[in-house]
Amino acid sequence: MRLLHTSDWHLGRSFHGVGTLGAQRAFIGRLEDTVREHRIAVVLISGDVYDRALPGVDVVELFDEALARLTAAGAQVVVSSGNHDSATRLGFGGRILERGGVHLRTRLEDIDRPVLLPVEGGADLAVYGIPYLEPRIVAAALGAERASHEAVTRSALGLVSADLERRRQGGPVHAVVMAHTFASGGISSDSERELAVGGLGAVPRDLFDGFDYVALGHLHGQQTLSHTVRYSGSPLPYSFSEARQTKGAWIVEFSAAGLGEVTAVQWPAPQALAVFRGTLEEILARPSLDWAENAYCHITLTDAQRPARAMDRLRTRFPETLVLAFEPDGGIQQKRQTYSQRLSAAVDDIDVCCGFLAHVRSREASAEERGLITAAVGSVLSEAAGK
């Protein structure tokens, strides 16, 4: 039996203001192709199906389309909710959908109610879907010692272990646990929402010891914490911090003997991401950046003073520049002057205005600009004196 472990679809999310619904629809197509090519029996989606609790109509329709295509391809689907999802809305109609091979795990009451699947050779596979657990909300219901991510996860896994032990008294049962959490040892990206401040949301990886496979969601990079504990990562990049990540999923094989091979499947990014830095003139002339001319770009300019019309000039060569940052090598930003310090050093009203201009755009006023400011201030003072 082959399972496909995926997560963090974030349907409806944009990439720095650029819509991704078309790219997400293309991903669904690649996912369906993978299910058919590798004869996947079960698709696991470990949380963050949607990017927000109230997804748009077109986003909900895309998820509906995805479920229809995956089940038509012969796979059952198990979905657990993530911290971006509304568990109640995602779980709507779960009892009916289960009859069609779509199993939603969004309620605390279903933590120890696995999806049971027969494995060829006489064993069963029990898939336990743990929804995202917000400690302050679920600690009391789970009987956790305190309202922390570690404590509520420990309590939830205790319920899973107790149910698994009962089932194993009747014969061999292998266990897969789905969870949406930040497990210790994982590497995060800029596009994930923090579960807690200062790393307090991290859950010890060894809490998941004793299960045949743990399909984690939340972190957007595909990574292996141990042979049995893995993050699939998001299928698309959602921040420039993911520029060097490979996107895909895990194919997980089970037999009557238990866990077999775990193989990475990779999907090409729909749009290349480029992150680079330098002075404006260097970047516009650098031949090694030819490949980035059709990529989404995050550019950091290191000019001593902020160049005029920097974004317009960059987009003549890199039309898909989405983020422009300034980190000057030398120049006025490295003086670290506050606006108050500029005001205190000003000699007259012209200095105040020119100082404000330099402060907000990181470039001193040119002679022409200073002349315009001088004329404007003089006109205002003359009008005030006439009154």
In whole angstroms, what separates CA 75 from the centre of its chain? Answer: 25
Given a cut of 80, whether residue 43 has pLDDT beyond it is yes
Q: How confident is the model at residue 337 (pLDDT cuts 50, 70, 90)?
A: low
DSSP string, 326-379: E--SSSGGGG---HHHHHHH--SHHHHHHHHHHHHHSSPPPHHHHHHHHHHHHH
Question: From residue 272, how far is each of 8, 64, 67, 242, 350 by CA, in Å?
Answer: 20, 28, 28, 11, 46
Tokens (6 digits) for 72: 């038509």
Poorest-pLDDT segment among 136-145, 205-214, 342-351: 342-351
Q: Percentage of the chain with pLDDT > 70?
A: 91
Q: Are 223 and 187 in contact (CB under 8 A)?
A: yes
pLDDT for the residue numbered 119: 95
DSSP 3-state of 294? helix
54-110 pLDDT per residue, tens: 999 999 999 999 999 999 999 999 999 999 999 999 999 999 999 999 999 999 999
Other C-beta atoms within 10 Å of 293: how many? 13
Other C-beta atoms within 10 Å of 369: how many? 14
149-188 pLDDT per residue, tens: 999 999 999 999 999 999 999 999 999 999 999 998 777 6
Q: What is the CA radius of gyration of the chain?
A: 27
Beta bridge partners of 15: 18
pLDDT for the residue numbered 342: 64
Q: Are 216 and 199 in contact (CB under 8 A)?
A: no
Taking the C-alpha atoms of residue 129 and residue 147, their distance in angstroms, rounded to an integer, is: 21
Q: Are 84 and 59 in contact (CB under 8 A)?
A: no
Poorest-pLDDT segment among 45-49, 124-128, 380-384: 380-384
Taking the C-alpha atoms of residue 43 and residue 324, their distance in angstroms, rounded to an integer, is: 39
Taking the C-alpha atoms of residue 10 and residue 276, their distance in angstroms, rounded to an integer, is: 26
Q: Are 317 and 281 in contact (CB under 8 A)?
A: no
Which ranges constitute the DSSP H helices of 188-325?
280-285, 310-317
Q: Are 226 and 210 in contact (CB under 8 A)?
A: no
Domain boundaries, the chain: 2-266, 274-335, 337-387
DSSP 3-state of 277? strand
Other C-beta atoms within 10 Å of 179: how many? 29
Tokens (6 digits) for 321: 């520049």
- Give the amino acid at 174: H
- Global pTM? 0.84
Pick the CATH number of 2-266 from 1.20.1630.10, 3.30.499.10, 3.40.50.2300, 3.60.21.10: 3.60.21.10
Poorest-pLDDT segment among 108-117, 189-198, 259-268: 189-198
182-197 pLDDT per residue, tens: 998 777 677 666 665 4
354-380 pLDDT per residue, tens: 888 777 676 778 888 888 888 888 888
